[in-house]
């Protein structure tokens, strides 16, 4: 970690080779009037909207929709089977069945899913977006989404076969994010905020009606994203059991590991109660189990947090992009990227040039990312991909 003095607050930086756009956003965060103590930048950092992916921002008094992002509650889950090996024919059969059971990309379910799966304990009468989107959300449960979302079957360094999912809150999260970001922009204009609109860091006061509503709807989306992953994992487990007669065994006392990496939470750091925004960053309390995924051609990791206060007890959420999507499609060679995966005998999702935005070459070196955050997490298990489904 190195400390940069570039604005009003110092920046604690675990990243290397940060592109100019992300550096400008980091500078904007360091000038943000409600930012607290310092800005923390994880090693997977790259440019986002308003705030870089891989950023951790703590604030007092305000909450920032763009510092959470549009895929609220996006995260990872993993389960360990009791299998030691799995053959390619079985993997192909499993993936074929999963493509039938789990809608990918923009696709939703053709039938409503059970309302009992939806998050409980919320009064949706005071949640305008969730109330409006409730019926549509029932069709989004159990769907993967697009972009960098994936389902992977992996071989662990512990000797077992694992299943992993990366997915989020689907269109529900986007609707919540867009609605409250527009409200925040309007509020900042009325308040004559000193934060330039071009910084895309419009905020809501946490004690305002709108701030409280966003906080509740955001929490709902985090739980909705978890419910979405759970339903997919149930269906993955059923297919694995059907095809391999496997069982599932716990690791460190849990059968289902789950973490989120796009949310804001009220926490205490450096003696103050603050709102920690983690955008493409994962909480890493001391002893907390987490997941840091690689790209579809590189390892993922089950980790334990070290509770490092300098990162606001956070770590990276993955490898992080080194190329934008359009740049990757223009610069990367499809046959070369396919050869990389096939040489490792990975069942992959690179079929056309349009898929190159999710090629391994579009991502940072996960080994370097893990090395850079050795003071944030301990690696417990390395997971090597055997096959992947991409959204």
Q: Cite the active site residues.
A: 317
Closest CA to 200 of 32, 388, 384: 32
274 Cβ contact partners less than 8 Å away, ≥ 6 residues apart: 36, 37, 58, 59, 60, 266, 267, 268
Cα 241 to chain centroid distance, Å, stands at 27
The C-alpha atoms of residue 386 and residue 372 are separated, in whole angstroms, by 26
The C-alpha atoms of residue 71 and residue 13 are separated, in whole angstroms, by 24
Is residue 17 packed enough to be buried (19+ CB in 10 Å), middle (13-18) or exposed (0-12)? exposed
Closest CA to 32 of 18, 45, 48, 51: 51
Q: Which residues pair with 258 in a beta bridge?
A: 77
Six-digit token string for 95: 């993936």
Check: CB of residue 379 under 8 Å from CB of residue 306.
no
The C-alpha atoms of residue 365 and residue 369 are separated, in whole angstroms, by 6
Query: Cα–Cα distances in Å, from 117 out to 137, 175, 179, 226?
Result: 11, 20, 24, 10
Parallel, antiparallel, or unpaired for β 150-156 and 161-167?
Answer: antiparallel
């Amino acid at each position: 970690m190195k400390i940069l003095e570039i604005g009003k607050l110092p920046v604690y930086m675990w990243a290397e080779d940060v592109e100019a756009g992300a550096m400008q956003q980091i500078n904007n965060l360091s000038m943000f009037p409600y930012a607290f103590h310092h800005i923390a930048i994880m090693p997977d950092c790259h440019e986002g909207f308003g705030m870089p992916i891989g950023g951790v921002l703590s604030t007092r008094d305000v909450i920032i929709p763009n510092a959470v992002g549009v895929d609220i509650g996006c995260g990872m889950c993993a389960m360990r089977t009791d299998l030691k090996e799995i053959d390619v024919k079985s993997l192909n059969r499993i993936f074929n069945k999963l493509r039938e059971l789990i809608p990918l990309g923009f696709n939703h379910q053709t039938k409503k899913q059970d309302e009992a799966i939806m998050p409980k304990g919320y009064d949706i009468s005071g949640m305008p977006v969730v109330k409006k989107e409730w019926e549509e959300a029932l069709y989004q449960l159990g769907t993967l989404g697009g972009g960098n979302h994936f389902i992977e079957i992996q071989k662990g360094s512990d000797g077992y076969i694992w299943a992993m999912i990366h997915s989020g809150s689907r269109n529900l999260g986007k609707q919540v994010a867009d609605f409250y970001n527009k409200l925040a922009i309007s509020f900042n204009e009325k308040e004559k905020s000193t934060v330039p609109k071009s910084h895309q860091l419009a905020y809501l006061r946490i004690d305002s009606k709108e701030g409280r509503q966003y906080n509740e709807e955001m929490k709902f989306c985090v739980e909705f994203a978890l419910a979405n992953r759970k339903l997919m994992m149930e269906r993955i487990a059923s297919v694995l059991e059907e095809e391999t007669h496997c069982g599932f065994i716990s690791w460190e006392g849990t059968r289902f590991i789950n973490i989120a990496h796009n949310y804001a939470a009220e926490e205490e750091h450096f003696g103050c109660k603050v709102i920690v925004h983690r955008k493409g960053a994962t909480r890493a309390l001391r002893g907390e189990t987490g997941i840091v995924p690689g790209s579809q051609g590189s390892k993922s990791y089950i980790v334990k947090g070290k509770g490092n206060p300098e990162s606001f007890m956070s770590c990276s959420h993955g490898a992080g992009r080194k190329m934008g999507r359009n740049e990757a499609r223009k610069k990367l060679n499809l046959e070369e990227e396919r050869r990389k995966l096939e040489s490792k005998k990975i069942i992959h999702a690179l079929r056309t040039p349009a898929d190159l935005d999710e090629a391994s070459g579009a991502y940072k070196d996960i080994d370097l990312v893990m090395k850079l955050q050795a003071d944030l997490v301990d690696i417990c298990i390395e997971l090597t991909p055997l096959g992947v489904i991409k959204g």
